[in-house]
């Protein structure tokens, strides 16, 4: 397989991307297509599985063209996607999940919070299954969303043939195999992978007993580890659409953040010593342990949800890159800065970062300005979807420099949230030596250094440009037989590029600012009563 290449497909919140990699983890080419999203009042966010598959087709064909390779060289395919809920009717036809009634809108996006009340009702049961989601289930997970559908759109719920996590939908669409990945159903659906079973009592207790009575046929009866080859490989229909040969091995997939973990944590040391930090629209933290560690407010422990044979604790921030965008939009100079960034051909955060010489200068700019960027709640370690952002220390300045200061304070707030997760996990027995970063919002050197300083841990960047895509290509390589296991593929295909060490001269100021961050968080909770 010396000339073999592997296709990784990543579906994020706003786009679908395809990348081709060789067996050393070098990216040969990639392509991207935007995907459509509908937002409605009441925290409703929806997408279309038809639209997403069309975007994947276009991105894959372009990536193959850019690479200039014979499609017959593609020897394995892996998919990852956001943990969004796809609803399919008879024959796989989309079924609406939308109050609009539009049949195209058949995905409840991960960030949709319509099911907060249902999550709270589930949590009030205190069911033992909840121990494996940090003690508190999130409205971002699938069983609260299923309960919402059953109670609010019973015609859709009753007519559904399959309820699928988006990554499992993609692998089914590619192969026709209904197997689910342990990554998706363990992390987001309460499957107990360490016992190889669903818990029927949980579903009956929360009001979804029909799924248990149906022997879980609608949510997955065959659950397999990521990287396991599916069915007979790429189906004739999917192959024709993608422009690839029939029968290419397709792997059981991953949630997008977990693909970022697979694409990074093998870069240095053992996976257990590295915290994978995927910094995108939201952020996710993935910590691997040899034995289960129960951390209140942190999802898991999940068995074999990312690295086979290891347990996983998953935290993160419900809004990270999106929180920075939201924060900047409030400032009076935002329009002026956005126009200047556009003229320079740069995204606004890149342009703002270019106005700061280094991290020590940046922290001086943000002196006295503090941001708790929890616009969409606190995913971890408080599992509090009602939390909201706090900004303290604003003055009357309306110029670009004050916008830069707000940007830096927001990045520090992201870093302090990360530090809080690390410290909480450490107290429970899941400690790490370093942060390995991926995701589009974490690519700038200034961002990486500020995160290292704010979190108090070295931040390692990997050599590959697209580590999330690489993670999916890695499981594709395992499915295709290029490597005997995921850890061996990780070792061969992931490589360290640079390390950002915490600045000891900045430690005291970041400790003070972190204490202020925690104080503001507590004040926010108290103000809610």
Total Cβ atoms within 10 A of residue 183: 33
And the tokens for 100?
Answer: 């609009």
Task: Check whether 202 has a pLDDT greater than 80.
Answer: yes
Task: Check whether 404 has a pLDDT greater than 70.
Answer: yes
* Distance, CA of 257 to CA of 471 (rounded, Å): 9
Question: What is the rounded average pLDDT for all residues in the chain?
Answer: 95
Task: Check whether 439 has a pLDDT greater than 90.
Answer: no
Q: What predicted TM-score, i.e. pTM, was given to this entire model?
A: 0.87
Domains and CATH numbers, the chain: 5-254 (3.30.420.40)
pLDDT band of 1, cuts 50, 70, 90: low
| pLDDT above 90: percentage of residues in the chain | 91
pLDDT band of 243, cuts 50, 70, 90: very high
Cβ atoms of 86 and 220 within 8 Å: the answer is no
Q: Closest Cα partner for 7 from 479, 425, 413? A: 479
Q: What is the predicted pLDDT for the residue at 79?
A: 98
Q: What is the predicted pLDDT for the residue at 372?
A: 98
pLDDT tens digits for range 472-528: 999 999 999 999 999 999 999 999 999 999 999 999 999 999 999 999 999 999 998
Cβ atoms of 486 and 262 within 8 Å: the answer is yes
pLDDT tens digits for range 74-88: 999 999 999 999 999
Q: Measure the N-to-C terminal CA separation of the chain; round to a whole number of Å.
A: 62
Task: Check whether 133 has a pLDDT greater than 60.
Answer: yes
pLDDT tens digits for range 278-297: 898 889 999 999 999 999 88
Q: What is the predicted pLDDT for the residue at 309?
A: 87
Q: Which residue has the tokens 């965008």?
A: 325
Q: Closest Cα partner for 412 from 365, 344, 472? A: 365
Q: Give, for 181, the enclosing helix (H) or strand (E).
A: strand 180-181
| pLDDT above 70: percentage of residues in the chain | 99
Q: How far is CA 183 from CA 127, 152, 165, 225, 504, in A?
A: 21, 28, 10, 7, 38
Q: Where are the alpha helices (DSSP H) in 25-131?
A: 49-67, 116-124
Cβ atoms of 354 and 346 within 8 Å: the answer is yes
Q: Is the dihedral of CA 512, 514, 519, 520 positive or negative?
A: positive
pLDDT tens digits for range 12-32: 999 999 999 999 999 999 999
Q: Closest Cα partner for 468 from 438, 445, 499? A: 438
Q: Closest Cα partner for 272 from 298, 310, 315, 314? A: 310
DSSP bridge pairs for 192:
197
């Amino acid at each position: 397989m010396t000339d073999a290449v592997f296709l990784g497909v990543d579906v994020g919140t706003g786009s679908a991307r395809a990348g081709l990699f060789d067996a050393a983890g070098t990216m040969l080419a990639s392509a991207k297509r935007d995907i459509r999203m509908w937002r409605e009042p009441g925290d409703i966010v929806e997408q279309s599985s038809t639209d997403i598959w069309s975007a994947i087709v276009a991105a894959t064909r372009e990536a193959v063209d850019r690479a200039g390779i014979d499609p017959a060289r593609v020897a394995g395919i892996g998919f990852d996607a956001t943990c969004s809920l796809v609803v399919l009717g008879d024959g796989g036809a989309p079924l609406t999940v939308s109050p609009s009634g539009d049949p195209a809108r058949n995905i409840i996006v991960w960030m949709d919070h319509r099911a907060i009340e249902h999550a709270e009702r589930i949590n009030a049961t205190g069911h033992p299954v909840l121990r494996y989601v940090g003690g508190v289930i999130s409205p971002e997970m699938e069983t609260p969303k299923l309960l919402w559908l059953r109670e609010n759109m019973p015609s859709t719920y009753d007519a559904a043939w399959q309820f699928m996590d988006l990554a499992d939908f993609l692998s089914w669409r590619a192969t026709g195999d209904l197997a689910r990945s342990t990554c998706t159903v363990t992390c987001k659906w309460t499957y107990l992978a360490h016992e190889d079973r669903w818990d029927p009592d949980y579903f009956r207790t929360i009001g979804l007993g029909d799924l248990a009575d149906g022997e879980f046929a609608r949510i997955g009866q065959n659950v397999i580890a990521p990287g396991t080859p599916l069915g007979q490989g790429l189906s004739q229909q999917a192959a024709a659409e993608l422009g690839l040969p029939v029968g290419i091995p397709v792997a059981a997939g991953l949630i997008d953040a977990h693909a970022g973990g697979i694409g990074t944590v093998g870069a240095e040391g053992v996976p257990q010593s590295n915290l994978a930090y995927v910094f995108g629209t939201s952020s996710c933290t993935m910590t691997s342990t040899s034995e289960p560690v129960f951390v209140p407010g942190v999802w898991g422990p999940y068995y074999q949800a990312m690295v086979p044979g290891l347990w996983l604790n998953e935290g993160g921030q419900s809004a990270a890159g999106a929180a920075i965008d939201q924060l900047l939009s409030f400032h009076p100079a935002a329009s002026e800065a956005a126009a200047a960034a556009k003229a320079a051909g740069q995204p606004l955060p890149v342009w703002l970062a270019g106005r700061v010489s280094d991290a020590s200068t940046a922290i001086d700019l943000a002196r006295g300005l503090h941001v708790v960027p929890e616009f969409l709640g606190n995913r971890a370690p408080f599992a509090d979807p009602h939390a909201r952002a706090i900004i303290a220390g604003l003055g009357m300045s309306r110029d670009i420099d004050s916008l830069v200061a707000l940007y830096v304070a927001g990045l520090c707030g992201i870093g302090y949230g990360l530090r809080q997760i690390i410290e909480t996990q450490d107290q429970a027995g899941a400690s790490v030596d370093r942060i390995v970063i991926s995701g589009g919002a974490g690519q700038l050197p200034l961002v990486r250094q500020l995160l290292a300083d704010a979190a108090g841990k070295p931040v390692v960047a990997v050599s590959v440009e697209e580590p999330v895509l690489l993670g999916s290509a890695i499981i594709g390589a395992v499915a295709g037989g290029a490597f005997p296991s995921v850890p061996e593929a990780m070792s061969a295909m992931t490589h360290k590029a640079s390390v950002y060490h915490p600045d000891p001269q900045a430690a005291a100021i970041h400790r003070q600012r972190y204490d202020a961050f925690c104080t503001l968080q507590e004040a926010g909770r108290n103000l809610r009563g």
